[in-house]
Structure 1
């Protein structure tokens, strides 16, 4: 396993640890990450409320649970994230429920983007440090098999249309994106991640 991946794993957090870290920082008026600002702290507060809600409402489809439990190997989903990231807040609770439902076939670990710049630099999206970014690691082989992120295809298309027709990200597209996630109910994330895991199964190195 590459040293930068191993380093990120060593300094990573469980889902519960990540949630506690974000909450503890918010109690000090801070967010995760190198940059600190009132707006980022406010986004972190909003995301915490979103994650609390999603933990109660997100359901993993039974066919997906069955396939996760019958993966041919054990995997780590190493996620680069930050507490202020709206996409991460929508996606992490889904990943956590998928991992819990996998009968220990998937171990979810979360690493902070700004603490792992070397790793983030290897998984850029169109040259940008977009998160969340999921790095799929096969435990048995100790190698990275795939990556995914920062958002599902439908949400990516929504953002692309906005950038083409409007330009820079504004509050309207942020709201539209959250409404997309709300309507999708986590289905796209589940289906796209499962497709990746099945592609790994049938396309072994």
Structure 2
């Protein structure tokens, strides 16, 4: 049973103002047409990252497939959950993960509903889910649908990718070096590590 003593993470009004996946993708595309991306900081580099991320999301939307065991876990869920995802269009990890989150929700037979919030517009929420003191995204917060209390949270990336990040950070890698190696890892992994970690979450929801 949900813990009724916990405070709600968000209000229904917050959720009402969130983006759907379709509207989130549309926003990114519209900003790109203007040479911009989401967020409070606008640079040519961030816009270039966002342009690559559109291609990554399009590829995953078309080709990523859910693992059979993940679908089995989805079929066992009986309650309804709200998945709140903090993201930005320029974030490479978000581009590799957000389409997977949406595919899971779409395959849940209405038991999981997704809400996309831009990090820079929701720092009060973001700062409750820091990773080693950093506003790292994407961040998934799973809420009970009725009370909007937290069940669990996940992100910003699978543990194997996080280990790679920390290893390269300790070695003094540049952002470009890290990004190249990280996206190479995502391409080779084909969303499997992400799905396995989300499968653990789904087992807890059943």
TM bracket, shorter-chain basis = over 0.9
Structure 2 equivalent of residue 184 of structure 1: 189
Distance in 2 of aligned mates of 1:8 and 1:90: 25
Mapped pair 1:196 → 2:201: yes
Mapped pair 1:56 → 2:72: no
Structure 2 equivalent of residue 104 of structure 1: 110
Distance in 2 of aligned mates of 1:33 and 1:69: 36
**Mapping for residues 1-205 of structure 1, pairs under 5 Å:** 2=8, 4=10, 6-164=12-170, 166-167=171-172, 169-201=174-206
Distance in 2 of aligned mates of 1:62 and 1:76: 22
Using the TM superposition, give the Cα deviation of residue 112 of structure 1 relative to its aligned residue in structure 2, in angstroms: 0.3
Please say if residues 26 and 41 of structure 1, whose CA atoms lie closer than 8 Å, have aligned partners that are also in contact.
Answer: yes
**Structure with greater contact order relative to length (CA < 8 Å, sep ≥ 6):** 2
Q: TM-score, normalised by structure 1?
A: 0.92
Q: TM-score, normalised by structure 2?
A: 0.92
Q: Which runs of 5+ in 2 are unaligned?
A: 1-6
Distance in 1 of aligned mates of 2:105 and 2:204: 18
| 1:138-165 per-position Cα deviation (integer Å, ceiling 9, x unaligned) | 113431111100000110011111112x
Distance in 2 of aligned mates of 1:169 and 1:150: 19
Please say if residues 53 and 89 of structure 2, whose CA atoms lie closer than 8 Å, have aligned partners that are also in contact.
Answer: yes
**What is the number of equivalent residue pairs in this alignment?**
200
Distance in 2 of aligned mates of 1:79 and 1:8: 12
Distance in 2 of aligned mates of 1:98 and 1:3: 22
Runs of 4+ off more than 4 Å = 3-7
Q: Which runs of 5+ in 1 are unaligned?
A: none
